[in-house]
Structure 1
Amino acid sequence: MKVIALADGFEIQAAGRTVLRHSSAHPCLFIGRGEADVQMQRGNFAISDYVSERIPLRSATLSQDDGDVQVRFAVSEGAPTELLMAVREEGHLTFQAASDSINRLWLRVAATKDEHVWGGGEQMSYFDMRGRHFPLWTSEPGVGRDKSTQLTWMADQAGAGGDYFHTNYPQPTFLSSRRYALHVETTAYSAFDFRHADFHEIEVWAVPDAIELFACDTFIDLVGVLSDRFGRQPPLPDWVLNGAIVGLKQGSESFDRLQAFVASGAAISGLWCEDWVGLRITSFGKRLFWDWKWNAERYPGLDQKITELAGQGIRFLGYVNPYLCVDGSLFPVAEQAGYLAKRQDSDATYLVDFGEFDCGVVDFTNPDAAHWFADTIIGGEMLDFGLSGWMADFGEYLPTDVRLANGVDGMLMHNAWPTIWAKVNADAVASRGKTGEALFFMRAGYTGVQRYCPLLWAGDQSVDFTRHDGIGTVVCAALSSGLLGNAYHHSDIGGYTSLFGNVRTAELLMRWSEMAAFTAVMRSHEGNRPDQNLQLDQDPEVLAHFARMTRIYRHLAPYIRFLATEASGAGLPLQRPLFLHHEDDARTYAEQTQYLFGRDLLVAPVLEAGVSSRTVYLPSGADWTHVWSGDSFAGGQDIEISAPFGQPPVFYRPGGDHDSLFQSLRTL
């Protein structure tokens, strides 16, 4: 970090890159006061802000203090100091406001016109964030995220619509094509505004703990530094690589249906039955009974079935989330012990409407409650019972008007909740000595979730090919989150959300299966309305296609193990943006419909309906071999490649250690 005093301000550089530039005419810092209005409906948030003051701090006075540079900001020269900023050698900017009433801060970061920016957590619509505004608040993404579509309009009428920036996993961190990264250390509501040509504006609804800057010579080094900062993910269990995790939720019939997958020749590593806790029927579809223990009526003899499956090399997985339904057996236990969050205006238990049923919020800021949930529920009812994994759902629902044991305002705890929830799961796994053996996966996230959660999933995509809601959002999600230390990512094969007559097609299931074979984990889902949607085992062609793709996934296990080693050692994600290994090729910077699977495989999944080919950009600096035909192509060009079912556009860089493995894919 270098601070350069100027005649009318200063400039801050990180490894030679100008990050902040201040003058009285163009101040970099604004402070203010605002009053937020937050309305939540089933995980969807309507947020507005009444800003009573936004004050530019035009005067900046520099001084030295034990090696740090102190910058005193004031409204004008000679006026009282409003905010003190310390520039620390390790790349941190820390802030101290003169008044506790200051609860808004805006910082302008130097930018260039042709700059690209990525990150922001897990973004679904736009990988390159330049030119847009991104609020950062964990929430349901919404059913419909494109305001020009009828789907979004219909969902908006029910309070369930979304927008391009809505995500389960936001994070106030971005990477710049200028080879630096910026992280805001805060759990407050924040926003990144990349719409201006010469600056990026960061907005925080609090005085942040710090703003951290990182600069490296290469993108690979920068991603590694961020992975170090946020924590490396636990290792991926090796059993996962034996094949796909098949999601079925038909009670005891699920075991019979699983045999159809086995008979088809599919490689199966796990059976995932999220309904192991029982069902309730709502207008949204079949929902789970949120009481986290085995439902013997729906799954009689499950303990024995788990043992039988293990004998076939198939693990059993379930489901859990951090809420307890009021009509379940665990709710009164938790309420009597004082483990549930309270209302602000009384000692009554805070209840959340999850759509035709109410639940209590387990207060994980109470150490006894966190330990109880980790040890008694996840440890006792799940791991000790024989589960090898689960979906750890719903980390994004914490209401802002809840009263928690730690006394921290809900506006500051809301974004922190997914990471706290991840830690509860990780602690449970560690308590049984199963870190790296048991697998849980989450859709919600925030800063620090990386060190606890072994696998992200992309959330509830629509069962279609739509640009902002369907299959293509999964690629964008993997690329954006992967840059921030989330090495392992996957999605529901076939999507999840089916509303307003929107149902799956055989084509969608087959294209999604093709893409999933070239990700960290293959896992299917029956969706929110399984009876109305085509399932993998209901069409012989679809099932045969799925079986073949699971064998391809299993065939790639040695390569995935190699990539997992890279993830542990260097913090590199398995699915990578093209520019990570081709940073001198500017064409790769905005690409979000194809990805590198490790360094040596390029995957360009078919993301549109009704097509049998697609255009693929092959990055410069390498030659590329088409996996299915063996044809060779020079890098630095667009090519049109045939893509019949079963042959998604996949290329490898010849001359690597895994050539023979890639070449043999065409024989499967």
Structure 2
Amino acid sequence: MFGKLVNHRVEKNKVYLDFENNKGIVEVINPLVINIFSPLKYQQHYSRAIEELNIENCSIAVENKTSYLEIKTNHLVVKVYDDFKVDFYKIDGTILCEDLREERRPFLRRGTVSVAEDEGHNVEKDFDRHKIEVVKKMFGDEKFYGLGEKTGHLNKRGSYYEMWNTDDPSPHVESHKSLYKSIPFFINLREDSVFGIFFDNTFKSYFDMGKENSEYYYFGADDGNLDYYFIGGECVKDILVNYTELTGKTPLPQMWTLGFHQSRWSYSPESRVREIAKNFREKDIPCDTIHLDIDYMDDFKVFTWDKNRFPDEKKALKELKEDGFKIVTIIDPGVKKEKNYPIYEEGLKNNYFATDKDGVTYVNKVWPGNSVFPDFSDADTRSWWAENQRIMLESGVSGIWNDMNEPASFNGPLPDDVQFKNEGRGTDHREIHNVYGHLMSKATFEGIRKYSGKRPFVITRAAYAGTQKYSTVWTGDNQSFWEHLRMAIPMLLNLSISGISFCGTDVGGFSFDCTSELLSRWVQVGCFTPLFRNHSGSYTRDQEPWAFDEQTLDINRKYIKLRYKLLPYIYDLMWSGENSGLPVMRPLLLHYEKDKEVHEINDEFLFGENILVAPILEQGKTVRTVYLPEGKWIDYWTKEVLEGGTYVIKKAPLDICPIYIKAGSIIPNFPEQNYVGEKEIDQLTLDIYPGDGSYAHFVDDKESYNYRNGEYTLYEFMMNDGKETVINLNIKQNEFKGYETFKIAYNEASVKEVYFNNNKLEFTKQDCSVEFVIPAEKGTIIIR
């Protein structure tokens, strides 16, 4: 495709390359991030994921060697060869990533396709070639992570996936090549190195991680530019931080969005919504949010209410909000084709809808029947859609749930030649499909921010790289299967290390019928997922916490209350993640990548750095092995101290989810409350596990952007554990009303004396801990 390298020139951080048959550019974004680009379709970058590319002013050295061009930064060496083959090295010469010089060699498939297909088998076809292909050599010890919500295990080696946002309601299994999101980013971890690659191409793309042949892996696309970012670093955390510097970080949400959400297709009419709300309060189960699916609308027309089902939605939502319930309503992209329907008429008048190749508004069938599709690739359309969010906000809605935005349609998928404006560049559905939901989420986010003045809550099913800037996500239409509970963890972990921190699943499963045991185990996982939403489908059995029996109700109550207890910890993780890019839910390898035992763990995860969760994921199971990485870990339930670097056996009856706290942790806890904001919290409990460690706790108004102007308080704790435990408390920022006191729960029973600022304190002994209260001010705690 490229031929021999015949010339090059250097302009600042860019190296322009002239090949016999094409052109290329190697751009140094910073010493650890290198962009490889060739204008095969567009002359310039045209990224939907990267909106602010921060190019660091750094020195590069370019030298023409005998058979290649060498580009060197302070951390990486890039060697460019004929045919635009590119190899990457550490500065010390260690090879990181090498292009394959040979042709692809798919393994041999034997047998007769037609005979197998006649019996109904899905048969893998021969592997295709693609317009754009980058084939990399496999060294043998690679492990691959990322690629978003794909099915299968945490480590994606040996798997093949396609990036083509797909609404497939059939049970999701490992053979699914595509689901709802396209995040073309992966991390390559080897014994002596790690790097990431982000292939920024919105056309249908392909990722073969050694399935076709174990000697190489490749990524490619049907069209577009050759445009990928090589991301270096010393550890997995570095890769994730550098990737989110490119595509954006998950912003701090309103705190209520981190509480418990209850949803169903559908809670309708209004009396049913009120019944659900009443049950939560009467049964002493915290809940902040109720979601309304498509049946709240008038004939499924977006931005409308069915006045028979919701005669006075403003009054109803106001009264629900007074009881602490925020309402989130679904909005799909399909706009009903109907005369005198204002959304349709206005969109038609202003050419806001996608068209066929002859310029005629394209029509397909969705829930409302014949529907048209807003062209979210156009800035004017996005502004119009953002304006429409005001309709819902004025009704009292607190958040918007974007569904069916792959886009999904009933009369077959949108044809490839459906036309989109694409910010004046003009293109077809092939290029916009994977970013359709991403752009819809952006428009929704901007509309809510404009008309509420608060941090928007948007939830989307379809996404692309960078969607984390605008929306939380869930993994789509799962099933009430144990296998889907097991699969949820690697799916969420790979989403998390693909930049999307605010994510979750439908707790209990969307389709099929949940069982009491499955819901009991799933709520234990949901307690530790950033988005905690129970959601079920039409004509499935009831799936609310009280829908089964008293034991199931008690278990749901226990873990939902635990979630509310941990809200300040989760909020701190979201706040720090806005700056660091690190997610809430983390694979163990994010912090312990040198430990080979954690590379393939699919059934445990870290919640932040301090909490390890090892849920039960199999029917009937009440005991499991748990791997604890290096260091000391404390069983959350028994307070037993355990040495890490080994496996332990944990008995876990139905009401117990194995949870371990890292020694040296300080975990902030809220008192019991039915919803966020129910009570003013003057006293924060600090759940302290002896050891060396530090912690920062953030306090603000929980909903506005004022914290970005410095209106917050930041408490910093530093703990040193020796013959005595010393905890230094500092208040780094003090521009928002904080706490009056801290209640200290120190998890060690053999305490003889406690001092704060040299004043001896009284304390009470519990079974495995002592408790005492200090003023929330700068000072030093000494525990002997």
**The TM-score by the shorter chain falls in which range?**
0.7 to 0.9
Does the CA contact (< 8 Å) of 1:604 and 1:616 recur in 2?
yes
Q: Secondary structure at the match of 1:203?
A: strand
The answer as to 2:267 corresponding to 1:267 is no
The answer as to 2:240 corresponding to 1:223 is yes
The answer as to 2:415 corresponding to 1:388 is no
In structure 1, the residue matched to 2:204 is: 189
Does the CA contact (< 8 Å) of 2:301 and 2:368 recur in 1?
no
In structure 2, the residue matched to 1:171 is: 183
Query: How far apart, in 1, do the equivalents of 2:166 and 2:245 lie?
Result: 26
Structure 1 residues 133-170: Cα deviation after superposition (integer angstroms, max 9, x where no partner): 221111124412338xxxxxxxxxxxxxxx33322112
The answer as to 2:339 corresponding to 1:322 is no
What pairs up with 1:304-315 in 2 under 5 angstroms?
304-315=315-326
Given residue 473 of structure 2, which amino acid in structure 1 is its aligned partner?
L
Given residue 402 of structure 1, which amino acid in structure 2 is its aligned partner?
V
Given residue 463 of structure 2, which amino acid in structure 1 is its aligned partner?
G
Does the CA contact (< 8 Å) of 2:508 and 2:543 recur in 1?
no
Structure 1 residues 3-43: Cα deviation after superposition (integer angstroms, max 9, x where no partner): xxxxxxxxxxxxxxxxxxxxxxxxxxxx4xxxxxxxxxxxx
Task: Say which of 517, 520, 523 aligns to 1:507.
Answer: 517
Q: Secondary structure at the match of 2:517?
A: helix
Structure 1 residues 307-343: Cα deviation after superposition (integer angstroms, max 9, x where no partner): 1122222212211121113359356424542445354
In structure 2, the residue matched to 1:489 is: 503
Task: Say which of 441, 451, 465 aligns to 2:459.
Answer: 441
The answer as to 2:642 corresponding to 1:625 is no
Task: Say which of 539, 547, 567 aligns to 1:529.
Answer: 539
Does the CA contact (< 8 Å) of 1:146 and 1:164 recur in 2?
yes
Deviation at residue 242 of structure 1 after TM alignment? 4.9
In structure 2, the residue matched to 1:92 is: 35
In structure 1, the residue matched to 2:623 is: 613
Deviation at residue 657 of structure 1 after TM alignment? 1.6
Given residue 384 of structure 2, which amino acid in structure 1 is its aligned partner?
W
In structure 1, the residue matched to 2:312 is: 301
Deviation at residue 636 of structure 1 after TM alignment? 2.0
Deviation at residue 58 of structure 1 after TM alignment? 6.5
Query: How far apart, in 1, do the equivalents of 2:531 and 2:429 lie?
Result: 34
Unaligned runs of 5+ in 2: 44-128, 409-413, 669-685, 690-744, 748-766, 769-784
Q: Secondary structure at the match of 1:262?
A: helix
Does the CA contact (< 8 Å) of 1:242 and 1:269 recur in 2?
yes
Q: Secondary structure at the match of 1:206?
A: coil
In structure 2, the residue matched to 1:119 is: 146
Q: Secondary structure at the match of 2:648?
A: strand
Deviation at residue 347 of structure 1 after TM alignment? 4.1
Does the CA contact (< 8 Å) of 2:41 and 2:225 recur in 1?
no
Structure 1 residues 227-271: Cα deviation after superposition (integer angstroms, max 9, x where no partner): 111112232211234544455613222212321121111011122
In structure 1, the residue matched to 2:601 is: 591
Q: Secondary structure at the match of 1:566?
A: helix
Does the CA contact (< 8 Å) of 2:39 and 2:225 recur in 1?
no
Structure 1 residues 434-471: Cα deviation after superposition (integer angstroms, max 9, x where no partner): 342x4121121112212222x111111111112xxx12
Give the TM-score of the pair, scaled to structure 2.
0.68
Q: Secondary structure at the match of 2:317?
A: helix
Query: How far apart, in 1, do the equivalents of 2:178 and 2:643 lie?
Result: 39
Does the CA contact (< 8 Å) of 1:462 and 1:495 recur in 2?
yes
Does the CA contact (< 8 Å) of 2:258 and 2:567 recur in 1?
yes
Q: Secondary structure at the match of 1:419?
A: helix
The answer as to 2:360 corresponding to 1:333 is no
Query: How far apart, in 2, do the equivalents of 1:577 and 1:138 lie?
Result: 25
Given residue 11 of structure 2, which amino acid in structure 1 is its aligned partner?
D
Given residue 495 of structure 1, which amino acid in structure 2 is its aligned partner?
G
Task: Say which of 224, 227, 243 aligns to 1:210.
Answer: 227
Structure 1 residues 550-574: Cα deviation after superposition (integer angstroms, max 9, x where no partner): 1110000121122112211211100
Query: How far apart, in 1, do the equivalents of 2:640 and 2:36 lie?
Result: 52
Q: Secondary structure at the match of 2:231?
A: strand
Does the CA contact (< 8 Å) of 2:152 and 2:173 recur in 1?
no
User: CA, structure 1 residues 202+240, in 2 after alignment: closer, same or farther (shift >3 Å)?
Assistant: closer
What pairs up with 1:101-500 in 2 under 5 angstroms?
104-146=131-173, 163-177=175-189, 178-195=193-210, 196-208=213-225, 210-245=227-262, 247=264, 249-252=267-270, 253-275=272-294, 277-278=296-297, 289-326=300-337, 329-330=341-342, 332-334=344-346, 336-354=348-366, 357-376=369-388, 378-380=389-391, 382-397=392-407, 399=414, 400-406=416-422, 407-436=426-455, 438-453=456-471, 455-466=472-483, 470-498=484-512
In structure 2, the residue matched to 1:643 is: 652
User: CA, structure 1 residues 591+208, in 2 after alignment: closer, same or farther (shift >3 Å)?
Assistant: farther
Query: How far apart, in 2, do the equivalents of 1:358 and 1:273 lie?
Result: 22
Deviation at residue 633 of structure 1 after TM alignment? 2.2
Q: State the aligned residue count.
A: 568
Does the CA contact (< 8 Å) of 2:626 and 2:647 recur in 1?
yes
Task: Say which of 577, 581, 595 aligns to 1:571.
Answer: 581
Q: Secondary structure at the match of 2:253?
A: coil
Given residue 131 of structure 1, which amino acid in structure 2 is its aligned partner?
G
User: CA, structure 1 residues 242+171, in 2 after alignment: closer, same or farther (shift >3 Å)?
Assistant: closer
In structure 1, the residue matched to 2:116 is: none
Q: Secondary structure at the match of 2:183?
A: strand
Whose relative contact order is higher, 1 or 2, with alpha carbons under 8 Å and at least 6 apart?
1
Structure 1 residues 263-315: Cα deviation after superposition (integer angstroms, max 9, x where no partner): 111011122222463487xxxxxxxx243222221123321121112222221
Given residue 492 of structure 2, which amino acid in structure 1 is its aligned partner?
A
Deviation at residue 538 of structure 1 after TM alignment? 2.1
Deviation at residue 96 of structure 1 after TM alignment? 3.6
RMSD between superposed Cα atoms in Å: 2.8
Given residue 602 of structure 2, which amino acid in structure 1 is its aligned partner?
Q
In structure 1, the residue matched to 2:717 is: none
In structure 2, the residue matched to 1:39 is: none
User: CA, structure 1 residues 628+484, in 2 after alignment: closer, same or farther (shift >3 Å)?
Assistant: same
Does the CA contact (< 8 Å) of 1:264 and 1:544 recur in 2?
no
Query: How far apart, in 1, do the equivalents of 2:263 and 2:557 lie?
Result: 11
In structure 2, the residue matched to 1:14 is: none
**Segment drifting more, 236-245 vs 60-69:** 60-69
Query: How far apart, in 2, do the equivalents of 1:374 and 1:332 lie?
Result: 15
Query: How far apart, in 2, do the equivalents of 1:456 and 1:575 lie?
Result: 14
Query: How far apart, in 1, do the equivalents of 2:403 and 2:466 lie?
Result: 17
Given residue 95 of structure 1, which amino acid in structure 2 is its aligned partner?
S
Does the CA contact (< 8 Å) of 2:186 and 2:196 recur in 1?
yes
User: CA, structure 1 residues 554+164, in 2 after alignment: closer, same or farther (shift >3 Å)?
Assistant: same
Q: Secondary structure at the match of 1:114?
A: coil
Given residue 135 of structure 1, which amino acid in structure 2 is its aligned partner?
E
Give the TM-score of the pair, scaled to structure 1.
0.79
Structure 1 residues 564-606: Cα deviation after superposition (integer angstroms, max 9, x where no partner): 1221121110000101111110121122221100001111222
Query: How far apart, in 2, do the equivalents of 1:334 and 1:615 lie?
Result: 60
Deviation at residue 65 of structure 1 after TM alignment? 3.3
Deviation at residue 411 of structure 1 after TM alignment? 0.6
In structure 2, the residue matched to 1:559 is: 569
Query: How far apart, in 1, do the equivalents of 2:627 and 2:583 lie?
Result: 21
Q: Secondary structure at the match of 2:507?
A: coil
Query: How far apart, in 1, do the equivalents of 2:42 and 2:283 lie?
Result: 68
Deviation at residue 350 of structure 1 after TM alignment? 1.4
User: CA, structure 1 residues 275+106, in 2 after alignment: closer, same or farther (shift >3 Å)?
Assistant: closer
Deviation at residue 650 of structure 1 after TM alignment? 1.2
Unaligned runs of 5+ in 1: 1-30, 32-56, 74-80, 148-162, 281-288
What pairs up with 1:646-661 in 2 under 5 angstroms?
646-658=655-667, 661=687
Structure 1 residues 208-229: Cα deviation after superposition (integer angstroms, max 9, x where no partner): 2521111111221221111111
Does the CA contact (< 8 Å) of 2:614 and 2:658 recur in 1?
yes
